Structure 1
Amino acid sequence: MNGGSMPIVDQVRALYEAMPEQISALILAGAAGAYTRAVFAPEESWKRRILEGIAGAFGAIFLGGLVGHAIDAVVGGGTWAYLAAGFIMGEGGIAAIRGVRKTIMDKGAK
């Protein structure tokens, strides 16, 4: 080790373990959803697939919490609700973000 500093893998593991369970679930499930989207995406460009995957992961983190909370309130699934929401947002995050933006923009235009 270099001067007693923690290796990057250990730093990432410590950061992940310090997060609330719901945030960890959103990140994990969002990454899985983004991966699924990249595998099955009709896009031929790998750059575009990667960018869509990153956008889906951000959608999972930011919108997944809201959707996870709503699912949890309805069915009481706890962390499983956040896992489901993260996966849904990771896989369909771009469409979800466009839908939310359109809803907000339509309300603002009236």
Structure 2
Amino acid sequence: MAQLLPNASANEVSALALAGAGGAYVRAIFSPEPRLARRVAEGFAGALGAIFLGGLVGHVLDKLTGAEAYAYFAAGFLMGEGGLAAVQRVRKLIFDKVEK
């Protein structure tokens, strides 16, 4: 996984994945999905969102606040909790423009 993110160490990727899974867990509590398979899939998607989007958002937060690792944890959590909705909105914007 570290080859996909050349400047990230395995520990950073693991921390982003853990924070993303935590965010997905919080999302599952507030909006419980009755099917276990769907919950697991959402948790996995939250972790992936945190790895790939959380690093970018964490970098921006770190530059704005200087919070270092905490910025990345916060970004991973946010991407795990709300990243799925954000990706859906961006996809809708992109695909709606392509179809018109």
TM class by smaller structure: 0.7 to 0.9
CA displacement at 1:109 relative to structure 2 = 5.4
2:69 aligned with 1:74: no
1:1-110 equivalence runs, <5 A: 19-106=9-96, 108=98
**The structure with more radius of gyration:** 1
Distance 1:74 1:108, change over 3 A: farther
| C-alpha distance in 2 between matches for 1:78 and 1:106 | 37
- Show structure 1 runs of 4+ deviating over 6 A: none
CA displacement at 1:104 relative to structure 2 = 3.3
Distance 1:31 1:37, change over 3 A: same
Distance 1:108 1:73, change over 3 A: farther
Question: TM-score, normalising length from structure 1?
Answer: 0.70
Q: Percent of counterpart pairs with the same letter?
A: 60
| C-alpha distance in 2 between matches for 1:53 and 1:95 | 13
CA displacement at 1:21 relative to structure 2 = 4.6
Question: Where does the alignment leave 5 or more consecutive residues of structure 1 unmatched?
Answer: 1-18
2:29 partner amino acid: V
Instruction: Say if 1:21 and 1:79, in contact at 8 Å, map to a contact too.
Output: no
Question: Where does the alignment leave 5 or more consecutive residues of structure 2 unmatched?
Answer: 1-8
Instruction: Say if 2:18 and 2:47, in contact at 8 Å, map to a contact too.
Output: no
Instruction: Say if 1:34 and 1:90, in contact at 8 Å, map to a contact too.
Output: yes
